[in-house]
Structure 1
Amino acid sequence: MSSTFTIAAAILLFFALLVSPSSSSACNKQDEKALLAFKNSFLYTSLKWSPSTDCCTWDFVGCDNTTGRVTSLYFENNNIHPESIFLNGSIPSATGDLSSLETLRFRGITSLNGPIPPQLSKLKKLQSLEIYVTQVSGPVPSFLSELTSLKELKLGYNKLSGTIPPSLGSLAHLADIGLFGNQLTGTIPASLFGGLNPKSSLVSLVLSHNKLTGSIPRSLADVRVSSLYLQNNNLDGDASFLFGRSKFLTQVSLANNNLAFDLDKVEFPLGLLFIDISHNKIYGSIPAQIVELPNLSYIDVSSNRLCGKIPSGGKFVQLPAENYEHNKCLCGTPLPPCK
């Protein structure tokens, strides 16, 4: 009888352990304290976080299932649910106490304001930092270069000002930089992506819609740039070094700058999908090699100083006349015939 009872008890205990939550899955107490301090730092917030529940179950919080450490905070308002999340104030300094955080994102939180706090420099495991469409202001801080695990930095459509810190180039994993739609001034640092292994990382750089000046750094020719958006700045000089048959560029926009170079001497990358170099001072003609590009779906060379016949044939997609207009003497379909 005792033997049967012992076996039955063991079976019950086994199933009880299966269905009961393990102690490691509960939210880390230090992280819970930091999250509550995060919530309480706002003048007003719609967050419903309560210490009576496991903080790994709280909205917008992601945890590691094994350790219970908080690894992500992701706040987003969108067109479907505008202002469903309300965070009235600046990014809390307590965010820096979430030492296992890998992802931090604020998207469309227009009540978020103030500078990026220096306490974020403590987040040594942070891989993705995104602050997008907010009222966050001040400089792009140089202390971001202390985030040694950072792979992605997207600070688009905020009120950031000042210059781009050259120290960002020291980060060994940062291959995706998006600082678009701000009020940034000065030049593009030649040091950007300098810490990357140039043979192992495809690079994305989006600095459009700022007030940047000077020339595009030639150091960008030494990395495998895939996406490059620099439109709507005040950049000048030669940008032809960005191109080449064996380059990795798939998307590039240099529109609305003061760039000047001979397009005749450009070889387009074979993987090019999209190119907009309109509203510059580019001269020469459109290279005939463009008809060899198998995936090109968009080109805009309008408002430059180009001449010659527009190439045709191959897989080249014919685009509207407006994509070629306002040049010195371009001709041929879809513009009037060449004389």
Structure 2
Amino acid sequence: MRHRKIENRPVELTELGFGASAMGNLYRITSAQEATAAVDTAWAGGIRYFDTAPHYGLGLSEHRLGAALKNRTREEYVVSSKVGRLLVPNERPRGVDTEGFVVRDDLRRQWDFSRDGVLRSIEATLERTGLDRLDIVYLHDPDDHWRQAAEEAMPALADLRDQGVIGAIGAGMNQSAMLARLLRETAADVVMLAGRYTLLDQSALDDVLPAATELGKSVVAVGVFNSGLLSRDRPAEGMKYDYQDAPPDLVTRARAIAEVCERHATTLPAAAIAFPFTHPATINVTLGMRNPEQVARNVELHGRHTPEDLWDDLRAQGLIRADVPVDRPAAAGRGPHLDSEDARGRSSPCP
């Protein structure tokens, strides 16, 4: 699988990444065996970038990901986690977590973007994963915490990066406006953009993507199925869009895009994975993966050829914005493609 490099940082990501939220029992229980098998399948498919967070299952995802990677050569893979939600003892447990993860709530999340909170969070993540370092650390959903995130958390991460403790730093959010500010006003190298540069929403073209281009920074795209509406060949009523029931007009639009995809001998989910790479700032698409079957399907979808004239057709029909760039992923020297052998052993920034 091809690798792409975070601009101006010594970290390379495979084009497809493994999102480990389901390893934390997101929405339903995933067994430890199933979680490990999913990572094994991802590895066999060439995936070498794995993303997790303390938020995912109150640390369960980090525990499981670390265990699944334990016997792999550390220099061959990249791991990112996040800061901003410290896990602290829950004085009033109800038995089950209330934020979508099927786990006991002996711990609770506490917002904290202070310097001390960042350092404590990273230390706890390293303990849960058993890793000696993190390659990328993101601020996790700092929407309501701009001042502390920008003035305390990001400088703390920048110090760790400059000391060589972390390879790259950034933020992950469901909005693009604040991500653009973080790129422009802080030391962030890369942002994890959720759902704002997809076949149904190209609003990131107004802020974060031009910021990344101008400043020589990078974007990791997540949420490319917009919570499910773009995940099937033929979208149906009742499917989700941004965590809610999809409005009828969006279902109709998704169906129209699917029909164009079929005429170009591809499918809607394959095009959804390929689409973020139309912008040269995008270096990776990370997908949530629960089991080996999902992993195998996503690897196969990513590997399909997407004809460039598909985007031309979608532009011409007004189904995507006219200013979506022409699909030249390696243009202007950004996000260089590296084959697996060239990149092997160089995906980690630290010796």
TM-score, normalised to structure 1's length?
A: 0.27
Structure number with higher relative contact order (C-alpha < 8 Å, ≥ 6 residues apart): 2
Higher-Rg structure is 1
More helix by share: 2
